[in-house]
Amino acid sequence: MDYKTKRKIKRIASQVLLWIAVIIVIFPIVYLVAISGSTSNSIRTGTEFQHISIHRYIKNFIEMQKNANFFNYFKNSLIVITITTFIALTLSIFAGYALAKFKFPGSNLFGITMLSTQLIPPTLILIPMYLIFITIQRTIGLQLIDTYYGLIIPYVAIFTPMSIWVMRGFFANLPSELEEAARIDGCSRFQAFRLIMLPLATPGIIATGIFIFLTAWDELMLASVLTTSAKVQTIPIGIRLFIGRIQNRFDLTMMAALVITIPVAIIFFALQKYFVQGMTAGAVKG
């Protein structure tokens, strides 16, 4: 066998291997999409693929909403996470910019403190948080448990540190000369930041925003302790109650799972370029 044929065989083999991997990897997702349009009984008895139909998808969708008031949780998640993303993103743009462009006394300390918060086990701050919230309510009557801002405040602080580092990476790559030129032309510090640096950092801002949104959309532990009523509970809690309430309706549970995944998928596909670029830029440069 000569060199060329050997190379060709290798190429084909590696592609076959890749596509086998693709099939295995997407199988659970295909399964999720498939069985959300099947019946509960057929999922239990292993004949789910024989009962999938468009009619079933619609029926399951309507029943899911009727049985669990699903869109209430969806709305709560959307409100909490949109506000969280907006605030956390603003904070990380400011701090990331400051860290990238100024070498001020305490900047190292600030950066390292930010990073070391990542080492804190969530349970260490969750228990005190819960107690502090209860104490505040008892002493000054301000209710924090089971409110939107009682969830938004911890979320903002928890998702900010990582985002600051990602934003810092983006700003560090932007040339400072443009900013200096704007300063010479009479811009104030803030104007130079807002008019010159901010537009240049747009891809990074989008990437960081998606990163915060996706992580917050996935948060379960804090929400399970800091919320108690359907008024503010987010999707992961809602879906959990949902399983308890209508036992063994696998089809409806999977329909809910599908509906929850769709907005994330849309955001991901629409902004994939920025997201992929952002994640790799942040990590590879370390």
Partner 1 sequence: MKKTIKKYSFAYLLILPSIISLFIVQVIPSLQGLYISLIKLNQFTFKDFLKAPFVGLQNYFFILFDPNSMVRVGLLGAIRNSAIFTICVISGTLVMGLGLAILLNQNFKGKGLARTLLLLPWIIPTYIVGLLASFMYSYDGIINRVLVNILHILPEPLSWKVGPLTLVSIILITIWRFFPMTMLMYLAALQGISKDYYEAAEIDGANDLQKFWYITLPFLKPVTAMMILYGLIQHIYSFNIAAMMFGLGSGYPGKWGDLIMTNLMRNSFSLWQYGPGGAASIVLMLLVLLLVMVWLKIFKDSITIE
CB of 72 closer than 8 Å to CB of 230: yes
The interaxial angle of helices 202-217 and 70-101, nearest 10 deg, is 140
Q: Which is nearer to partner 1, 95 or 232 (CB)?
A: 95
Pick the binder of partner 1 from 9, 62, 131, 142 (CB under 8 A).
131
CB of 260 closer than 8 Å to CB of 49: no
> Which range binds partner 1 by CB under 8 A, 51-59, 66-74, 196-204, 253-261?
253-261
**Is 284 a residue that touches partner 1 (CB under 8 A)?**
yes
Nearest approach, Cβ of 18 to partner 1 (angstroms)?
Answer: 4
Nearest approach, Cβ of 103 to partner 1 (angstroms)?
Answer: 9
Pick the binder of partner 1 from 21, 58, 142, 270 (CB under 8 A).
21
Q: Cα dist. 166→93, 172, 207, 209, 255 in Å?
A: 9, 10, 9, 10, 35
Nearest approach, Cβ of 112 to partner 1 (angstroms)?
Answer: 10
| Ramachandran class of 2: left when φ > 0, alpha when ψ lies in -120 to 50, beta otherwise | beta
Alpha helix (H) residue ranges in the chain: 3-35, 40-45, 54-68, 70-101, 107-116, 122-140, 148-172, 176-184, 189-192, 198-200, 202-217, 221-226, 235-245, 250-270, 272-284
Pick the binder of partner 1 from 99, 196, 201, 255 (CB under 8 A).
99
Nearest approach, Cβ of 67 to partner 1 (angstroms)?
Answer: 16
**Is 104 a residue that touches partner 1 (CB under 8 A)?**
yes
- Rounded to whole angstroms, the Cα distance separating 272 from 197 reads 23
**Is 3 a residue that touches partner 1 (CB under 8 A)?**
no
Pick the binder of partner 1 from 8, 66, 75, 189 (CB under 8 A).
189
Task: Name the token pair of 58.
Answer: 């619609």
> Which range binds partner 1 by CB under 8 A, 55-63, 68-76, 179-187, 232-240?
232-240
Buried b (16+ CB within 10 A) or exposed e, 217-245: bebeebbeebbeeeebbbbbbbbeebbee
Nearest approach, Cβ of 30 to partner 1 (angstroms)?
Answer: 10
Nearest approach, Cβ of 224 to partner 1 (angstroms)?
Answer: 6
Residues from 50 through 89 that contact partner 1 (CB under 8 A): none
Residues from 195 through 224 that contact partner 1 (CB under 8 A): 214, 217-218, 220-221, 224
Q: Which is nearer to partner 1, 55 or 269 (CB)?
A: 269
Pick the binder of partner 1 from 89, 196, 201, 254 (CB under 8 A).
254
